[in-house]
Structures are given as structure tokens and as C-alpha cells.
């Protein structure tokens, strides 16, 4: 299967690496909006093209993996490119998914392509975990916890405060909440009861630590509704101990069965990821395989991870998977 990468940041690099781990995949190249000569691919043999040339490579690409951001790139990019390619994206603005789906569906259906939106882990694998559990034990309750992991958005918010040189924010699930959910207590949890926010901040010389700590802790939307801890550290320590982009989380679903619903069950799906963008990229590559296959079977329009059977993600034959996994 021939794939190509459209957009080359952390996610695009992750796709390049994930593709190299798949012997059934061939990477046609990277398409970038920057000057292609300024882009250093992970592997020196990976071709780099200007995104403006992408249409001239149409016949060489089975599935185009879109590695743009959800805020401004993907809402325009995915419907536009779905007119010419089978595409997949990781659109993750939850509230706008129905609208994005509609735009992509109409473009893909009209041109006879297949598009899959919102692949990744949340939305993505966590959505799948919620879907399975909810269908098997109707009437139960799903809880999603994120972390311990780096939130890029919250780290950026701290960095925008004057006097802050660099920062890293970790989202941390609260153990007592997890335990209550696992015991099947169906707790009603406030935002503050579910997650902590842990901040590591490097100050500019002469910055006022007390004032900045206060500013972080009271920042609306980002921190005001949470218990937040702020740790001032040196730039060296930040680079030494907080250079990675780990993340993860868990979906815990509790439901009941029996004539009188007398038996309780707990289904838990968790991820602990050393690299958030690389793992998301690995999910995209597996779903790109499914998109290629399903399109060759005649499926067109827009789909999501909820429409893909697990067997279609694997390069192995159905008989092989049955023998090994069942």
C-alpha cells in the first residue's frame, strides 16, 4: 500500500517512523507547506515535496495521511483533499466532529473516495472502548481520565504569560476518583475531583514567581477549575527531566447484568504512552491500511473508527488472525 504524509510536524514525523515499521507500506513522500529543501526527514531517503504539487502525485498514492492541526488546518484540508485522495485525519475538536464529518462525507462521496476522520486515541481508541462497553452493558457509565501526561495546550498557555521562559504542564488523574469508579460507585465527579494539573515553569531572569504562580492558578478554562501545583525549575532541569511528550489515560466503564441487575462489571482500557504524537501516528497508519482496503472493496464517503472492523487494521490474513488471536 502506498501512503503519503501531508504536513510534517511531530505527527508527520511519527507517521514516517510508523510507516517504516510496516513492511506492507510504502511511503511515497512527505508533502509540506514549507520550502521542501528546508525539511529534514527522519530517513534521508524519504522524498520531500511541496504541498502545492500533491495533485500531480495523485496516481501514486493509495491513502494520504493528513497531519495538520484541528484548529485551522483540517477543517479546510480534509474536505478539499478528499476530492482527490483517500484520506485520513486526526481531527480532535470533539464538538465539531459532526460538522467536519458532513463536509468530508459530501466531498469524498461525490468523488468516489474514502475518508476516515478523527483517528488517534481520544477520539479514536477511547471512542472504541466506550462503544464496545456501552453496547455490551447498556445503561452503564463511562468515565474517561487523561494522564499522567503532557498537555500541549496547557503548556502553551503558561508559556504565553510574560516572565515565563518555558513550561511543561502534566495532567494527572486523581487516584481516589479512579478507585471510586472502579468500585462501581458511579460517582458524580467535578472537574476538580477528576484531575490535577502539575506545572513545571522556567522563569525569565527577574520575573516575579509569586505573581506568575497566582496567574497560572487562576487562569480561566485552563487552571481555575483544578487543583494546580506550580514548580519553578531551571532550564537545565526542564530539558533533562521534561523533554518528552508522554501521555495516556483510561476509559473505565461500569455496568450491570442479571435479572435484577444484581451483578456489576468493570471494563477498563488504558494507555501509557512514552510519545503521544508517535503513538497517534501509529494509529493513523493502521487505519490508513483499513481505508485502502475498504476503498478497494467499494466503500466511499466518510467513516470513523467506529465503522472499521479490527481485522481490517492488520496486514495479516483473516485466517491467520483467527488462528492466533481468537
- Contacting residues toward its own copies, per CB under 8 A: 14, 17-18, 20-22, 42-43, 94, 97-98, 101, 118, 123, 125, 127-132, 134-139, 182, 257-259, 261, 263-275, 278-279, 281-283, 286, 289, 304-311, 313-315, 318-319, 321-323, 325-326
Question: Do 80 and 107 form a contact (C-beta atoms < 8 A)?
Answer: yes
Which of 22/39 has CB closer to its own copies? 22
Least distance to its own copies, CB of residue 70, Å: 12
Which of 2/265 has CB closer to its own copies? 265
The residue to which cell 463511562 is assigned: 142
Least distance to its own copies, CB of residue 184, Å: 9
Least distance to its own copies, CB of residue 235, Å: 23
Which of 103/271 has CB closer to its own copies? 271
Least distance to its own copies, CB of residue 165, Å: 26
Which of 158/294 has CB closer to its own copies? 294
Which of 36/249 has CB closer to its own copies? 249
Question: Do 100 and 119 form a contact (C-beta atoms < 8 A)?
Answer: no
Which of 21/210 has CB closer to its own copies? 21
Least distance to its own copies, CB of residue 296, Å: 17
Least distance to its own copies, CB of residue 263, Å: 4
Could you write out the three-class secondary structure of the chain? CEEEEECCCHHHHHHHHHHHCCCCCEEEEEEECCCHHHCCCCCCCCCEEEHHHHHHHHHHCCEEEECCCCCCHHHHHHHHHCCCCCEECCCCCHHHHHHHHHHHHHHHHHHCCEEECCCCECCEHHHHHHHHHHHHCCCCEEEEEECCEECHHHHHHHHCCCCEEEEEEEEEECHHHHHHHHCCCCCCCCHHHHEEEEEEEEECCCCCHHHHHHHHHCCCCCCCCCEEEEEECCHHHHHHHCCCECEEEEEEEEEEECCCCCEEEEEEEEEEECEHHHHHHHHHHHHHHHHHHHHHCCCCEEECHHHCCHHHHCCCCHHHHHHHHC
Which of 58/94 has CB closer to its own copies? 94
Least distance to its own copies, CB of residue 39, Å: 15
Cα 70 from chain centre: 10
Least distance to its own copies, CB of residue 271, Å: 6
Distance CA 268, CA 94 (A): 22
Which of 216/251 has CB closer to its own copies? 251
Amino acid at each position: 500500500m502506498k501512503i503519503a504524509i501531508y504536513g510534517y510536524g511531530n505527527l508527520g514525523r511519527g507517521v514516517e517512523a510508523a510507516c517504516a515499521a510496516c513492511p506492507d507500506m510504502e511511503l511515497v513522500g512527505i508533502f509540506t507547506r514549507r520550502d521542501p529543501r528546508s525539511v529534514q526527514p527522519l530517513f534521508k531517503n524519504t522524498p520531500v515535496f511541496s504541498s502545492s504539487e500533491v495533485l500531480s502525485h495523485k496516481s501514486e498514492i493509495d491513502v494520504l495521511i493528513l497531519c495538520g492541526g484541528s484548529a485551522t488546518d483540517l477543517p479546510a484540508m480534509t474536505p478539499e483533499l478528499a476530492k482527490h485522495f483517500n484520506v485520513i485525519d486526526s481531527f480532535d475538536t470533539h464538538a465539531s466532529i459532526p460538522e467536519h464529518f458532513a463536509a468530508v462525507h459530501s466531498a469524498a462521496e461525490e468523488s468516489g473516495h474514502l475518508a476516515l476522520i478523527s483517528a488517534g486515541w481520544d477520539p479514536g481508541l477511547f471512542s472504541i472502548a466506550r462503544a464496545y462497553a456501552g453496547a455490551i452493558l447498556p445503561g452503564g457509565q463511562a468515565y474517561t481520565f487523561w494522564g499522567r501526561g503532557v498537555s500541549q495546550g496547557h503548556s502553551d498557555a503558561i508559556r504565553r504569560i510574560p516572565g515565563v521562559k518555558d513550561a511543561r504542564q502534566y495532567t494527572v488523574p486523581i487516584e481516589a476518583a479512579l478507585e471510586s469508579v472502579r468500585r462501581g460507585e458511579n460517582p458524580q465527579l467535578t472537574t476538580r475531583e477528576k484531575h490535577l494539573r502539575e506545572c513545571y515553569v522556567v522563569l525569565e531572569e527577574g520575573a516575579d514567581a509569586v505573581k506568575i504562580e497566582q496567574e497560572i492558578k487562576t487562569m480561566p478554562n485552563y487552571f481555575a477549575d483544578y487543583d494546580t501545583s506550580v514548580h519553578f525549575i531551571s532550564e537545565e532541569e526542564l530539558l533533562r527531566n521534561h523533554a518528552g511528550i508522554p501521555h495516556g489515560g483510561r476509559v473505565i466503564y461500569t455496568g450491570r447484568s442479571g435479572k435484577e441487575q444484581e451483578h456489576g462489571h468493570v471494563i477498563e482500557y488504558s494507555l501509557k504512552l512514552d510519545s503521544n504524537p508517535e503513538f497517534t501516528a501509529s494509529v493513523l497508519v493502521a487505519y490508513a491500511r483499513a481505508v485502502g482496503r475498504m476503498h478497494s472493496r467499494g466503500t466511499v464517503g466518510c467513516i470513523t473508527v467506529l465503522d472499521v472492523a479490527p481485522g481490517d487494521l492488520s496486514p495479516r490474513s483473516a485466517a491467520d488472525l483467527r488462528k492466533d488471536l481468537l
